[in-house]
Structure 1
Amino acid sequence: MYQFTRLFGAARIPTENGCLMQTDEKARHVVVMCRSQFYWFDVMDDNSDLIMSEKDLVHNLQAIMHDAMETPIQEAARSAVGVLSTENRRVWAGMRDHILNHEDNTNRECLQIVDSALFVLCLDDSSPESLAEISTNMLCGSSVIEKGVQVGTCTNRWYDKLQIIVCKNGAAGINFEHTGVDGHTVLRFVSDVYTDTILRFAKTIHGGSPSLWASVSPDPAKRDPESFGNVSTTPHKLEWTMVPELSLGLRFAETRLADLINQNEFQTLEFEGYGSNYIKTMGFSPDAYVQMAFQASYYALYGRVECTYEPAMTKQFLHGRTEAIRTVSQEVVDFVRTFCEDAPAKAKIDALKAACERHVQRTRQCSKGLGQDRHLYALYCLWQRGILDEGCASPSVDGYVSGEEQEVPFGSPGGQSMISEMSATASTGSGRAVARDIPAIFADSAWDKLNTTIISTSNCGNPALRMFGFGPVSADGFGIGYIIKEDSISVCVSSKHRQTKRFVDTLHSYMQDVRYLFKQLNRKVVSPSTTKAREAETRQAAAPLKTPKGKEIITKMASGTSSPSESDGEGGMLGGYGYFDVGSLNKLLSEKEEEATAGQQVTTRRSIGRKLPLADY
């Protein structure tokens, strides 16, 4: 519950000595961004009760959009101060100091309004269509240059706060600052919004339908305006004073941001062949199963395993955040090698089961706080603090070092290794002191490898979300966000142009291939037909039953599922390089079924008519 105090009214503030989380408990207003312009208005009174009805909000947002559209694109680009929140944290800290200490109070007041807002609502004037385009827009915005001016949505952001992003075509998402909260906290917020939206719609049909917050806050439309107190419900535009230093910093921040956006790509997969229900019937943990899919897909493309990260929640502890699950184990290595070899189907499935069981064990250990990453990092921070106390130049626990050239914290994904830092500073007195006193474990190459995450993954989602993702944490890595639903699996993959689409396609093929293996090993695989009604049909009848009228029909499967024998394009994991001859397999299975039933004469009603096949799940 503690993390909810850092969800609303919170901001990540950069300073010369690192970042800090700042929360304004008296925040009663929201900031709205449209075409890189800033607006604000109050939405609650001093008692935290709502003062804006839906109609009031619509009027305010329409006024904001009309004003933003009247702003020339050149003027909007010159005042797109939000782009500064994407800058290097040390540079952004310097710009903030300049804003706060300038003799003109206008910029200081504008900055305080933004920092203290409950959240930022970003109204984008773009209409992304594909899932990949939507994911890109929610993660980093679009970079579009017209006549030398940035007109993309990337400048319509303030990344130091919780952002609710709504596109022109209604596509919506959330971009949150990860420093103060974890994904499950934001997910709870999204789930409540999604649920209340459905309940509010139901209320328009039946007035007696419940609402999540009906008993918490009175209807603002029925309140006396005098009870609102000293509030400002009319939207106000924040007009920044663009001094030369601010304009120059904004210009360089925008070009840097455009470079970063163009260096990354995002691809999505909505696998509708099966989901958690089917995975569980096969005896696997859904999360472990999907993790093995990532490992097999990467190995199939590159022939090796890499350092992989998955967060495990430690919510059972006070202020608990996460522990790092390191997916790669000996069982995982054995599995990917076996799966990508011409091994029997049973050997592949057995290897998959062993790898999944090992992953489940490790996940349980990490959830109990028994992982290794956080413990080792705590020891590393203690050593850093000791070096600082002795007056040596060394990185601080906040992620900054005394030298200007280094801004990435050691021990973080993509950060510079301690070995390389020692080499860079060996010629200095402080460098020799660091090299002499560094514990052996932090000078070992294994520590460097552990903190260079190539495959960074996270499982976060429920029916309230369609997609979830984040960027890669290393230059040659993948960032993989995934949602395991009952009948489908959604995946968002990012990388710095490392054949992301090919990785997604390989992942799709792998999950199809595993389904074929299960079908090959067990023809009586659990399917949608495994219900009480279907079980009764498979039992031998004790007495003759009445002759039915009509014919049997194929049971229509739930949306998103398809029969392995009927779905299109299901081949080997590597296309032409695959190890599964699907056509031969289906033919062989069909022939065996015909042989098993040949010559059998059944006189019960089950033999009357042609029995139609029920598609496997």
Structure 2
Amino acid sequence: MTSTEKITFARQNELPRLPVPSLEDSCKKFLISVEPFQTPEQHQQTKQIVDRFLQNEGPQMQSDLLKYAETQKSFIEEFWDESYLLGNESVVLNLNPFFILEDEPDPERGTQLRRAANLTLASLCFIHDLRQEILEPDLFRGTPLDMYQYNRLFGLARIPTAHGCKQRLFPDSRHIVVMRKGQFYWFEAIDNNHQPLFSETELIATFRAIFRDADQVASQKDGHATLGVLSTEKRRTWYSLRSELENEAQNRRNLNMIDSALFVLCLDDHSPTDVTDLTNNVLCGTYQLEDGKQVGTCLNRWYDKLQIIVCKTGEAGVNFEHSSADGHTVLRFVGDIYTELILQFARSINPNTKSLFRAKTSPYARSLANRNKTHPVNESMMTDVQARTTPKRLEWVLDSSMLQSIQHAEMRLSDLICQNECFVLEFKGYGKRFITNHGFSPDAFVQMALQAAYYSLYGRAVPTYEPAMTKAFLRGRTETIRTVQPHTMQFVKTWTDPNATIQSKLDTLREACVGHAKLSKAAASGQGFDRHLYSLFALWRKQHASEGQSVPELFEDHGYQTLNHVVLSTSNCGNPSLRIFGFGPVVQDGFGIGYIIRDHKLTICASSKHLQTKRFLSGVEQYLYAIQRTIIDAFKAANIHQEQTYIDLAGNECDVRTGLPIRSSVASQDPNQSSKGVSYGTSGYSFYGDGAEADSESDDYIEYNPRESVGKMVFVSEYE
């Protein structure tokens, strides 16, 4: 690759369009997926409705969708965007997912200011490579994946309107917004060539100045307004309040400065005490009262943009606005910036270690400007850049009515936080290695664990959602994997049958996992049925709703409504850079479950509106140990080597208690250790991500003025 070769989007034209599945196939898959949740009488009624649909309006709706698809880059894109943008609920706990990063590889660099500086600098380098189109494109087993979502990750804002939300893109954005104790600060972070305008030391000095100023504002007798809570309101309420704010020109400039930022960095004045506290902090902020007033980190957020959150003790995470990007895209971003932190640590050992990114520090950065004797920078330009890189606090014009609205928004947010809970199971008994060594798909294995735990506790199966990535297609997002199928039901019934043999339990588990893997492959290949049926209905509604026609019978059927009341909303997302990821439940009586599968560990984050979440995770843990013993007992009987070991499918000599190779450092763990593997944490969230995407020619394209002066300048002491 040459230094000027653009590669990031070079293969977009190679991507095929998402296929529109056959109407008959989608209806058949729908009937199979809905049957486990219906009585025989209900299912017979649904079958009759499907038959009538296929004979009457269905073929015309399919024909209309096929014609529509010919004019679109993706037939689902417009309708899926609307599903995320047109709702009225708060995005907190209902939409925005979160990632929690692993700790800093070098503990000495893990302090809050230093870690915030490192993450910010790595993010700016990622943005540089993305905008210069030299960021390596995503591939899956050699197949190029759609890169469009990266254009919507930075400089994008979710804006409330009277009828839902829209997105505004600021493709030339060069500044970031920093939040501290509910106050907003901004400064320009990259130059015209997208090169970082700061060194790590300069960023630390800038953040330290923001700390001093925010602490001083917070200590004032009259207190300070924390406008971030307004972004947690229901969308129409937030639209009304935002419209009031924009009546003042100063407020309008402030909001534009926040909207147009590359991202928001939240520097929290909070030290998490455990994984519960940490998870809650990154998901929705902490709830903490002093003298009856809310002082938690829930005040230090802006949920309409990508947020990087750094705790007082250096723990860090990301809370992202979900309509613009799905988990795979944000995972690539956080994985890359975490990798850069590791390489920084490596450079402290070997200075020849290369960076992951190709961004260079801007010649206008203070640390370089005075040293560049060969190519001195323009002094007037340097003065201008230094003014724009000095942090400025946004000051608002607020009347008593708006101050009261901020107080009420905080109360409603606090209610939301108190109504939700989130716990984390960090299961260390085994992980991917054990699962694959015994011939199971890791994702399918964990999905069956969730099903077995729920069925054991409640005595029934419930509609379950897992997203499959469809980024092998142009503008691809996700398709639904419907976990509960006839083979799933056979397994959970056999597993909970006290008279079932070990072999029958393993046979039905294997059949269920194979079936789930096939469903996953079909969904990723664009052969699911959920997005297809949803698009048929959405297009019909777009064409005919104003005519007063009756909704097609299929979409009002009990079966269709039941299947789309997702009780177990699940997602498998993660790589070694992540410790935890999670989201809230999508229905009042449901769970939101995010999980990460590692070689020797499983991390499962579950949230609900107080549905015994802790007990559910305990059930998952008990199942994981029980199925491990079942697998080992069966394998021992057939492959006994000596009293304490057996030979697995890969030919490894394994410990009979753990199923791990005997040389593994964790092979000696006791599989009966139960609660030692669990740590719990309060929170909630929702995950399957797809979003809105307006073309740059649209009305939502906003020109960015990098020289606009907004806010009160904050004094920065001499850069170290």
TM-score range, shorter chain: 0.7 to 0.9
2:437, 2:649 within 8 Å by CA — same for their partners in 1? no
The 3-state SS of whatever aligns with 2:173 is coil
Given the two structures, how large is their TM-score scaled by the length of structure 1?
A: 0.78
Residue 468 of structure 1: aligned partner: 581
What is the DSSP-based 3-state SS (H/G/I as helix, E as strand, rest coil) of the residue aligned with 1:522?
A: helix
| Cα displacement (A) at 1:136 | 0.9
Q: Quick one: which of 80, 86, 91 aligns to 2:237?
A: 91
Matched, 1:354 2:511: yes
**Mapping 1:279-318, distance limit 5 Å:** 279-318=435-474
The residue that corresponds to 2:524 in the other structure is 367
| Counterpart residue number, 2:368 | 222
| Residue among 62, 70, 77 paired with 2:216 | 70
Which digits, 9 at most, give the CA deviation of each residue in 1:361-405, with x for residues without a partner? 111111111111111111121222134443xxxxxxxxxxxxxxx
In 1: Cα distance, 2:648 partner to 2:320 partner = 42
Q: One-letter code of the match for 2:581?
A: F
Alignment pair present for 1:123 and 2:261 = no
One of 260, 276, 280 as aligned partner of 1:132: 276
Indicate yes or no: 2:348 matched with 1:207: no
Paired position in structure 2 for 1:506: 619
Supply the AA of the counterpart residue of 1:135.
T
Query: 1:172-230: CA deviations, max 9, x gaps?
Result: 11000010000011100111111100111111222111111245556743345646684
State the partner residue of 2:591. Answer: 478
Once the two structures are TM-superposed, the CA of residue 155 in structure 1 deviates from its matched residue by 1.1
Report if aligned partners of 1:37, 1:76 keep a CA contact under 8 Å in 2: no
Distance (Å, rounded) in 1 between the aligned partners of 2:158 and 2:236: 13
Q: Are 2:158 and 1:12 aligned?
A: yes
Contact 2:327 2:573 in 1 (8 A): yes
CA distance in 2, matches of 1:470, 1:155: 19
Q: Which residue of 1 aligns with 2:297?
A: 153
Change in Cα spacing, 1:118 to 1:228, as seen in structure 2 (3 Å) is farther
- 1:40 is displaced (CA, Å) by 0.8
**SS of aligned partner of 1:250:** helix
Tell me what 1:575 maps to.
none
CA separation in 2, counterparts of 1:296 and 1:532?
27
- Partner of 2:582, secondary structure, is coil
CA distance in 2, matches of 1:530, 1:276: 14
- The one-letter amino acid paired with 2:255 is L
In the alignment, is residue 51 of structure 1 matched against residue 197 of structure 2? Answer: yes
* Higher alpha-carbon deviation: 372-381 or 461-470: 372-381
Is the partner of 1:467 in helix, strand or coil?
Answer: strand
Aligned equivalents of 2:383 and 2:477: distance in 1? 38
CA distance in 2 between partners of 1:164 and 1:381 (Å): 35
Within-5 A mapping of 1:375-414? 375-390=532-547
Partner residue, 1:577: none
Q: How far apart are the structure 1 equivalents of 2:362 and 2:218?
A: 41
Which residue does 1:253 correspond to in 2?
Answer: 409
Query: Equivalent residue for 1:450?
Result: 563
Measured on the aligned residues, the alpha-carbon RMSD in Å equals 2.4
1:308-354 CA-partner distances (Å, limit 9, x unpaired): 00000000111111011111001111111100111111000111011
Q: Amino acid of the residue matched to residue 248 of structure 1?
A: Q
Aligned AA (2:527): L
193-202 or 236-245, larger mean C-alpha shift: 236-245
Higher mean C-alpha deviation, range 139-148 or range 108-117? 139-148
C-alpha distance in 2 between matches for 1:113 and 1:186: 23
Q: Distance in 2 between matches of 1:531 and 1:475?
A: 43
Question: Once the two structures are superposed, what CA deviation does each residue of 1:129-185 show, in whole Å capped at 9, x if it has no partner?
Answer: 211211111000111121221101111000000000001011111000010000011
The equivalent residue for 1:106 is: 250
Counterpart residue number, 1:325: 481
Deviations 1:209-253 (A, max 9, x none): 111124555674334564668431111001111123422321221
Query: Does structure 1 conserve the Cα–Cα contact (< 8 Å) formed by 2:437 and 2:648?
Result: no
**Counterpart of 1:20 in 2: which secondary structure?**
strand
Change (3 A) 1:141 1:557: farther
2: CA distance, partners of 1:534 / 1:149: 59
Q: 1:74 to 1:287 in 2, by over 3 A?
A: farther
1:237 lines up with 2:342 in the alignment: no
Structure 1 residue 52: Cα displacement: 0.6
**1-side partners of 2:328 and 2:640: how far apart?**
34
Question: Which stretch of the first structure deviates more once superposed, 457-466 or 243-252?
Answer: 243-252
SS in 1 for 2:543: helix
Q: Classify 1:486/1:238 alpha carbon distance in 2 versus 1 (closer, same or farther; 3 Å).
A: same
Deviates more, 1:229-238 or 1:335-344: 229-238
Cα distance in 2, alignment partners of residues 6 and 528 from structure 1: 51
For residues 57-91 of structure 1, the C-alpha deviation after alignment (integer angstroms, 9 at most, x for no partner) is 00011111111112236778651111011110111
Whether 1:23 aligns to 2:169 is yes
Give the partner amino acid of 1:373. Answer: D
Matched-pair contact (CA < 8 Å) for 1:45–1:228: no
State whether residues 46 and 229 of structure 1, in contact with CA within 8 Å, keep that contact through their aligned partners in structure 2.
no
* 1:568 partnered with 2:673: yes
For residue 325 of structure 2, what is the aligned residue in structure 1? 181
Partner residue of 1:336?
Answer: 492
CA distance in 1, matches of 2:620, 2:264: 36
**How big is the shift at 1:45?**
0.8
Q: Distance in 1 between matches of 2:165 and 2:497?
A: 49
User: What is the DSSP-based 3-state SS (H/G/I as helix, E as strand, rest coil) of the residue aligned with 1:191?
Assistant: helix
Give aligned pairs, total: 506
Match of 1:267 in 2: 423
Q: Which letter maps to 1:8?
A: F
1:406-450 deviation digits (Å, cap 9, x = unpaired) = xxxxxxxxxxxxxxxxxxxxxxxxxxx46xx11010110111112
> CA 1:441–1:341 in 2, change beyond 3 Å: closer, same or farther?
same
C-alpha contact (below 8 Å) 1:36/1:76 kept by paired residues: no
Change (3 A) 1:47 1:507: same
Distance 2:218 2:542 in 1: 51
Write out per-residue CA displacement over residues 30-60 of structure 1, whole angstroms, 9 at most, x where no aligned residue.
1000111111111111111111110110001
Looking at structure 1, the residues matched to 587 and 219 of structure 2 have their Cα atoms a distance apart, in angstroms, of 35
Aligned sequence identity (%): 46
* TM-score, normalised via structure 2 length: 0.67
More contact order relative to length (CA 8 Å, sep ≥ 6):
2
Structure 1 counterpart of 2:207, from 55, 61, 64: 61
Paired residues of 1:292 and 1:332 also in contact (CA < 8 A): yes
Structure 1 residue 273: Cα displacement? 1.1
Measured in 2, the distance between the counterparts of 1:216 and 1:275 equals 40
Report if the CA contact (8 A) 2:197-2:361 is conserved.
no
Cα distance in 2 for partners of 1:355, 1:174 equals 34
Name which of 173, 183, 208 aligns with 1:37: 183
CA change 1:246–1:444 in 2 (3 A) is: same
